[in-house]
Structure 1
């Protein structure tokens, strides 16, 4: 556990971000490894089927994960205020919610997989494979949500190293199982889904055993676990806007996927593959944002507004340096990265064009995400939700549709940075108003300052 209310700001955020970044990189490797092995062993059609499933998976789990992230911020605020009994109650409440939600999502996903894939105009030749992958993958949502509940609790109290350990082990297991099920047992696309499901289940069980043996403040156990309605209300107040945001982001991705699907199998495979590389490239900004949210969550609970300002400045500086490096790597080596997934020259060409366009604008994404991280940590989650929805639904989706009419599939690539610039401006404009100050979801009971004092203390 880490107390962010004292010590060197840059060092604390960096040391927390690195394990967090590595952990999420390994978590992203689930889908990347699936895509590489499927593309190499089973070909472009199977690669397209797997890739088309991921926006659907994101859509189905987005709301639940958003609410779970709200629990992590509430834990950070209670931990910063040293209200450890509330930390335990919040962890219990979120775990109950995530496990129940995991069961509901698993059952619903199994029955709705094929109708949803038809809704986004997936070509008929990809439908059966994509539906099979989706049903098996979603069947493991209880383990997926349970594991995310454990790591969200650990991150809320400042521990980003332990989740990294379990993610590394589960990623290695996923690689082994992918090769075994696809390359040796010849289970086809189902093998990729089963490999991910079993690796996630192993990570969840291992994390529960660890947390029960080492942590005194909170433990994961069926006996004695209690659901606190008031705490869940606090988690919903912070997490629901993020969950709604992520749901509409997922719907937007699904809408864009519907546009992509009209261009055929090669474009579907290229877009899906390049998106895997793209998501990995954006990971540093996303994880510095998560680190800043935890940092702000603890410090806002104690009224340390000047420390929050320093945290934002440091986080922007560190994340922008990494973003520039990543952008240059993608620009110069994007085509080579595509070749890891497929031997199809046409898929490589199309995916390389996507990466060349989008990577030049990662800096916009970085600023947008880091500033939104501060706002979420302070409890002001409504504005990030609104700016994200506007940038996606009012800008990116219409731009993708209109530009494809004029310049073909390249219009999809250009719609992405067009949406980012609107989101970046919206997030930064709200931040400058200072209205996000004093948005904590609980009364500090004498700890820190009043909300009125916080609003007027430091103009950042």
Structure 2
């Protein structure tokens, strides 16, 4: 990636400032320097290269996660029956709220750990690890217990059909008990990302997907356990992924594990951890709830519209994995350099991310436009009819705006990385609320085309909000 002349000048100034001792970089013999050697120090070297090296495994991980989420439904559909297959779909809407909240909360932890890692603050890094693990595990266990106890009333509230009620309840009761293991896996994935070891997370996730598939085949297809077998397969896969994460840290990166000296009540860190985790968790759950509201508007339009929207959402999920991964990589890259108090390199990381993700966004727009018909036919199984026409029209409209999705990911990653997670939350909730409310207003008259236009306008709005915050910060 070519760096503009102004960026080259800024890089030279950074080097001069470091030679002058402006930035507190640990000496080669310091404990902090030795700790940094066990991960990837993103405070030195080519920013664009770091960004790409972080983004590629995250993209692969996101795609694997999508596969992970569909394995149960695929096996149950083939070997259990339509009622249990439908129960998986209803259960997914419930359990995803819990899993999105956990994954979102761990985004905040990633930022804190990456900032401390970039600052070379080994003691506080380990104190934060103990604080986040102990209170996070307690929270996940409480959420799992409450969720398991409340599945009956919750499913009744969702108007779950009687013929699938028991199947759905059984599945949720087992899967929600795995929330502590899910938290542990997501937490240590956050730690590995914070120190630049994104390949570790990808490897563990790949093993978990293979294990889940193997257990599904054994428990559902061979032993005939139906949806109960699928639930236990998910439970075991979550537990094994958490165990593998702990084993890897203990065997390969023991320098990063907290010890007895880090055990205690660190109130300042606890307050900061709760703030970051709550805001980023709320951001992810708010986004999911907003999408459910849009889905409700689509559901009011009949089977053809629902089928078309389902197809487009699966296509968009694939494309969005690139932008979401870029946002996560930008957050880690920014956070490490922010922790090192290297403001010039933070700004340069933002510009490099804007270039890389802007190019990816433009390519995504062109591909969506050109392959809209082929992709829709592939998922719908038919290249004609109302569902196909609606899907193609939706994708071609939304393709006109897609670059804004990717530039928005750069801004979101930047604000997360510098610790201004509330700004990210404000933009996310504002734009998803706009899409959800207006979808109900316009979908009756304009169909999926209205949802596509509103999606693009939502991205335009969130880019505008975040850009205003960014430029105001630069002027201060």
Q: Scaled by the length of structure 1, what TM-score is found?
A: 0.83
Partner of residue 236 from structure 2, selected from 198, 212, 215: 198
Partner of residue 101 from structure 1, selected from 139, 150, 154: 139
Cα 1:310–1:433, aligned 2, differ >3 Å: closer, same or farther? Answer: same
Cα 1:130–1:264, aligned 2, differ >3 Å: closer, same or farther? Answer: farther
Partners of 1:126 and 1:332 in 2: how far apart? Answer: 40
1:430 — aligned with what? 469
1:82 Cα deviation (Å)?
0.7
Partner of residue 416 from structure 1, selected from 448, 455, 469: 455
Partners of 1:56 and 1:67 in 2: how far apart? Answer: 18
Partners of 2:80 and 2:453 in 1: how far apart? Answer: 30
Partners of 1:209 and 1:422 in 2: how far apart? Answer: 44
Task: Give the 3-state SS of the residue equivalent to 1:158 in structure 2.
Answer: coil
Query: Is 2:242 the counterpart of 1:210?
Result: no
Equivalent residues of 1:36, 1:340 under 8 A apart: no
Partner of residue 108 from structure 2, selected from 59, 70, 95: 70
Partners of 1:213 and 1:136 in 2: how far apart? Answer: 31
Cα 1:369–1:44, aligned 2, differ >3 Å: closer, same or farther? Answer: farther
Partner of residue 361 from structure 1, selected from 401, 412, 417: 401
1:330 Cα deviation (Å)?
4.4
Equivalent residues of 1:48, 1:269 under 8 A apart: no
Partner of residue 315 from structure 1, selected from 342, 346, 353: 353
Partner of residue 26 from structure 1, selected from 52, 64, 78: 64
Partner of residue 112 from structure 1, selected from 127, 150, 153: 150
Cα 1:299–1:111, aligned 2, differ >3 Å: closer, same or farther? Answer: same
Equivalent residues of 1:137, 1:197 under 8 A apart: yes
Partners of 1:144 and 1:242 in 2: how far apart? Answer: 17
1:129-187 C-alpha deviation (Å, 9 max, x unpaired): 44444333322211111101111111112211111111111112222233334433344
1:384-433 C-alpha deviation (Å, 9 max, x unpaired): 1111111112x111111112222345544543333222112211221111
1:22-51 C-alpha deviation (Å, 9 max, x unpaired): 223222321133444455666777655434
Q: Scaled by the length of structure 2, what TM-score is found?
A: 0.80
What are the within-5 Å matches in structure 2 for residues 260-339 of structure 1? 260-263=298-301, 271-272=309-310, 274-333=312-371
2:174 — aligned with what? 136
The answer for unaligned runs of 5 or more in structure 2 is 1-38
2:191 — aligned with what? 153
1:356 Cα deviation (Å)?
4.9
Cα 1:229–1:131, aligned 2, differ >3 Å: closer, same or farther? Answer: same
Partners of 1:290 and 1:214 in 2: how far apart? Answer: 24
1:404 — aligned with what? 443
Task: Give the 3-state SS of the residue equivalent to 2:255 in structure 1.
Answer: coil
Equivalent residues of 1:40, 1:341 under 8 A apart: no
Structure ID, larger Rg: 2
Equivalent residues of 1:41, 1:183 under 8 A apart: yes
Query: Is 2:275 the counterpart of 1:244?
Result: no
The answer for unaligned runs of 5 or more in structure 1 is 436-454
1:98-139 C-alpha deviation (Å, 9 max, x unpaired): 211221222222233344344455566665544444333322
Partner of residue 16 from structure 1, selected from 54, 66, 70: 54
1:6 Cα deviation (Å)?
1.0
